[in-house]
Amino acid sequence: MEEGDITVERHPFEPFLPAGAKVLMLGSFPPQRKRWCMEFYYPNWLNDFWRICGIVFYGDREHFVIPGEKRFDILKVKDFCERKGIALFDTATEVRRLKDNASDKFLEVVTPTDIPALLERIPECRAVVTTGQKATDVLVGAFGCDEPPVGGCIGVSAAGRTLTFHRMPSTSRAYPLPLERKAEAYRSLFASLGLL
């Protein structure tokens, strides 16, 4: 599928929806495969999502890193998400990259994710979290709601239930906030959801 010279990319991963998931974490879309260090969500070595989870839950930013390698341990990551009830997907299932980089700024959402259909598959989920501005923009459109402040949340209705919609600081290093401050924001989030 092409429009002009820009190929439409389909999402490379299935939604990760562990049984009993309490929270759905949503990014925008995975970076190009050449930027992956593992075949799972937040695969870019330069994205700090898994370092933040390491700090928050284990007091160790390297907890999910394979020692001596620039890769995250996919088995450790998946086991952690299953035990904590963290579901993962993105707010777009098809995109066009307007530039050859990982920036959301140059990501055109062709097909947004059907969020209510995703939530139907995780009936115990009561919170939806966006990890960046593009994901937040898409979710605001899907829910028809106001945009929560960074680090804040609002109530929304979807899939026949009331949820909290949390907007978190981007875990990309392009977002100008020190890692420790991002970890503090995510610690507050996970504590409020009863996961800590």
- For the whole model, what pTM was predicted? 0.92
- The CATH number of residue 49's host domain is 3.40.470.10
pLDDT in tens, 40-78: 999 999 999 999 999 999 999 999 999 999 999 999 999
Domain of residue 71: give its range: 2-192
The band of 91, judged by pLDDT with boundaries at 50, 70 and 90, is very high
Of the listed ranges 33-47, 64-78, 99-113, 139-153, the least confidently predicted one is 99-113
161-167/127-130 β-pairing: parallel
CA distances from 30 to 12, 84, 88, 96, 146 (A): 8, 22, 12, 12, 25
Distance CA 61, CA 123 (A): 31
Provide the domain count of the chain: 1
